[in-house]
């Protein structure tokens, strides 16, 4: 197997073979794959080549690698479904939180200064403000013990109640912030996208760089239409999805 007449790289053909075994049930969900030295011997390839194949399957989401233990076939992902009523115009104070929060809720981890970074400029543009008028908060939301969501908030500094920029603060950030600031918030718009975890998010989430994240971002405004908050959440893709129901009596 060490030679290759085709142009498909060895590690990819190995990955395909392993994927076929998983699809065929040779390795069932939850089962341990042969160790790297074993695969290396079986297919007569270098261990590094095995690792390339295995790394691809992990990025594809079909296996999970546990250091010091082994690599295992991933069972189908169980995602938390968060319902969004597409006709409601009001912020549902807690729909996201109810589904994603652990008992400890959201935790502020930092309040970095708003400089002129690309992120800051984009946020400023969304809010129709100058970067200098804004404050920024970073928070994490845990599911059980693990961080599953990282959020960034930008808002006019005048609307940031004292103490909310203190790292370690816990609670349901948006509703508590609105209450403390004495304002009402409603959705202006929300958008969904997907990106890979960058170095900073990967560290916060304890996951590999490039892990697929669902991005949900948007602007909330006060009832008179003034933009008051830009939020950008990155949610681990394998742990949640957002569902919009369009019929009065959902079938399932």
Interface with its own copies (CB under 8 A): 12, 15-16, 19, 23, 56-57, 59-62, 76, 79, 81, 86-87, 89, 117-118, 126, 128, 186-199, 202, 208-215, 219, 221, 225, 227, 235, 237-238, 240-247, 249-252
- Residue 117: closest CA among 101, 136, 103, 92: 136
> Minimal distance in Å, beta carbon 170 to its own copies?
26
Nearest to 108 by CA among 137, 68, 143: 137
Q: Which of its own copies, DNA, none sits in contact with 190, Cβ below 5 to 8 A by type?
A: its own copies
Question: At 233, which helix (H) or strand (E)?
Answer: strand 227-236
Candidates 18, 22, 27, 49; binder of DNA (CB under 7 A) is 49
Q: With CB under 7 A, what is the number of residues at the site for DNA?
A: 27
Instruction: Judge contact between 154 and 230, C-beta under 8 A.
Output: yes
- Binders of DNA among residues 51 to 90 (CB under 7 A) are 51-52, 65-71
Cβ proximity to its own copies, 180 vs 204, nearer residue: 204
Whole-number minimum distance, CB 178 to DNA, in Å? 40
- Residue closer to DNA by CB (options 33, 134) is 33
- Residues 195 to 224: which contact DNA by CB under 7 A? none
The span from the CA of 113 to the CA of 154, in Å, is 11
Return the structure tokens found at 227: 């933009």
Place of tokens 């296996």: 63
Kindly state the smallest distance separating residue 244's Cβ from its own copies, in Å.
Answer: 5
Q: Give me the residues paired with residue 43 across strands.
A: none
Distance in angstroms (rounded) separating the CA atoms of residues 98 and 105: 9
Q: How far is the CB of 12 from its own copies (least distance, A)?
A: 8
Of the candidate residues 29, 31, 41, 48, the single one contacting DNA (CB under 7 A): 48
Closer by beta carbon to its own copies, 60 or else 98 = 60
Q: Choose the contact partner of 221 out of its own copies, DNA, none; CB within 5 to 8 A by kind.
A: its own copies
Residue 37 or 116 having the CB closest to its own copies: 116
Mark residue 14 as left, alpha or beta (left: phi above 0; alpha: psi -120 to 50; beta: remaining): alpha
Determine if 10 is a binding residue for DNA (CB under 7 A): yes
- Distance between CA atoms of 158 and 135, rounded to whole angstroms? 9
Chain centre distance of CA 59: 15
Q: What is the DSSP code (8-state) at residue 134?
A: E
Cα–Cα distance list, 13 to 25, 74, 102 (Å): 18, 20, 42
- Under the rule (CB under 7 A), what is the footprint of DNA? 2, 4, 7, 9-12, 33, 35-38, 44-49, 51-52, 65-71
């Amino acid at each position: 197997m060490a030679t290759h007449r085709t142009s498909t790289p060895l590690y990819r053909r190995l990955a395909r073979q392993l994927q076929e075994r998983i699809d065929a049930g040779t390795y069932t969900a939850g089962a341990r794959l042969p160790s790297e030295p074993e695969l290396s011997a079986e297919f007569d390839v270098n261990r590094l080549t095995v690792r390339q194949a295995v790394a691809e399957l992990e990025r594809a989401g079909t296996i999970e690698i546990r250091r010091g233990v082994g690599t295992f076939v991933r069972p189908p992902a169980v995602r938390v479904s968060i319902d969004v009523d597409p006709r409601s115009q009001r912020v549902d104070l807690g729909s996201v939180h109810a589904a994603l929060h652990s008992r400890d809720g959201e935790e502020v981890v930092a309040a970095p200064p708003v400089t002129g970074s690309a992120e800051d400029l984009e946020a400023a543009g969304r809010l129709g403000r100058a970067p200098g008028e804004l404050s920024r908060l970073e928070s994490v939301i845990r599911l059980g013990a693990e961080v599953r969501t990282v959020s960034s908030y930008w808002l006019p500094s005048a609307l940031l109640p004292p103490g909310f920029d203190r790292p370690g603060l816990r609670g349901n950030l948006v509703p508590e912030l609105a209450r403390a600031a004495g304002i009402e918030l409603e959705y202006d718009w929300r958008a969904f996208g997907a990106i890979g975890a960058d170095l900073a998010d990967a560290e916060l989430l304890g996951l590999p760089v490039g892990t697929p994240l669902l991005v949900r971002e948007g602007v909330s405004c006060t009832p008179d239409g003034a933009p008051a908050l830009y939020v950008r959440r990155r949610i681990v893709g394998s742990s949640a999805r957002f569902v919009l129901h369009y019929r009065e009596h959902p079938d399932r």
